[in-house]
Amino acid sequence: MQTLTIIQPDDMHLHLRDGDALQAVVPYSARQMGRAVIMPNLKPPVVSVADALAYKARILAALPAGSTFEPLMTLYLTDKTTPELVREAKAAGIVAFKLYPAGATTNSDSGVTDLFKLIPVLEEMAAQGVLLLVHGEVTDADIDIFDREAAFIERIMKPVLAKVPDLKVVFEHITTAEAARLVQEAGENVAASVTPQHLLLNRNDLLVGGVRPHHFCLPVLKRETHRQALVAAVTGDKAHKFFLGTDSAPHARSAKENACGCAGMFSAATAIELYAEVFEQAGALDKLEAFASKNGARFYGLPENTRTLTLIKQPQSVPESVAYGSDTLVPMRAGGEVAWSVQY
């Protein structure tokens, strides 16, 4: 039987929600991941150091007994964020601020309306070594939803990088060839996280045969050519600039299967196994460990995890749903199989 042992991975983009939802989903990530960068788009959002530390305490309290999982906390960037808050965040161990353009995705109503007005904040982040995590989409009504990421690169990302060239930026959950190329051509201060869904699925998986609400995420799935470009990026010559970030985003089944279905896919239950499929299909299993366990840690200035994780080439069935408070949660590839399993 084929086995693959790697350094324990980190999830550099994870939604854990709060309350009963947090209790339901955090064990899945804690079982696989050594650390995770926790997204701050709660209701209300995590905008202060006190908010972040309180949220971290709730996460730690929800972990299974004996877990060594470490949440890495972030703050929600708003129009009111100040350089003083950046310094306070750095002192408290906050690793990053997250940019949500206002209205771009789930719980983004408090997001930034004009990033260029925050240049002094970004300059302080560069000085302090605090990362900017970017949801890279414009929300202008005249831009097609499939073009939002490419438009963001030209209108916002490139000009901001020119104005603050030392800022460390993670282009989150990239979905296009344009985004992959930007990261490859930028300096070593720019990297990207990539999700399992954008490496495995294209927009046919969302729309052919009827709309599939559990494949709806933002940024939305793109053409097959873009999926192929992402696989080439994470396995290619500049692969050290790309790392695992699931963007696992749990939503109750009732919130997904309705007239205004929530955006997000829950992949945490079989995250590393899904990525293993990607790298195996690309003939690049030898590059999985760097993507999952090394590149992100290095970019964030963290040591590699000391534990290991062993994958076995043995199919596992994915349940149709899992418990999620008083509702249920439909995981990625529900009712199907994943080609790999983790030896726990």
98 is in an annotated binding site: yes
322 residue type, one letter: V
Q: Is 15 annotated as a binding residue?
A: yes
Q: Is 41 annotated as a binding residue?
A: yes
* 175: CB partners within 8 A, 6+ apart: 149, 198, 219, 220, 221, 222, 226, 230
- 203 in a labelled binding site: no
3-state secondary structure of 150: helix
Is 13 within any annotated ligand binding site? yes
Measured CA to CA, the distance from residue 195 to residue 247 in angstroms comes to 6
251 marked ligand binding residue = yes
16 a known binding residue?
yes
Is 114 one of the catalytic residues?
A: no
CB atoms within 10 A of CB 283: 9
The answer to whether the beta carbons of residues 178 and 185 sit under 8 Å apart is no
Q: Is 17 annotated as a binding residue?
A: yes
Handedness of CA 292, 262, 214, 216 (dihedral sign): negative
127 belongs to an annotated ligand binding site: no
The annotation status of 173 as a binding-site residue, yes or no, is yes
Report the distance separating Cα 27 and Cα 63, nearest Å. Answer: 6
* Exposed / middle / buried, residue 31 (Cβ in 10 Å: 0-12, 13-18, 19+): middle
Q: Of these residues, 51, 147, 205, 247, which one is catalytic? A: 247
Residue 186, both tokens = 């930028």
Asked if residue 89 belongs to a known ligand binding site, the reply is no
Looking at the DSSP bridge assignments, the partners of residue 99 are 134
Residues of each annotated binding site for Zn(2+)? 13, 15, 98, 135, 173, 247
Binding residues for substrate are 15-17, 41, 135, 218, 251, 263
Binding residues: 13, 15-17, 41, 98, 135, 173, 218, 247, 251, 263
Active-site residues: which are they? Answer: 247
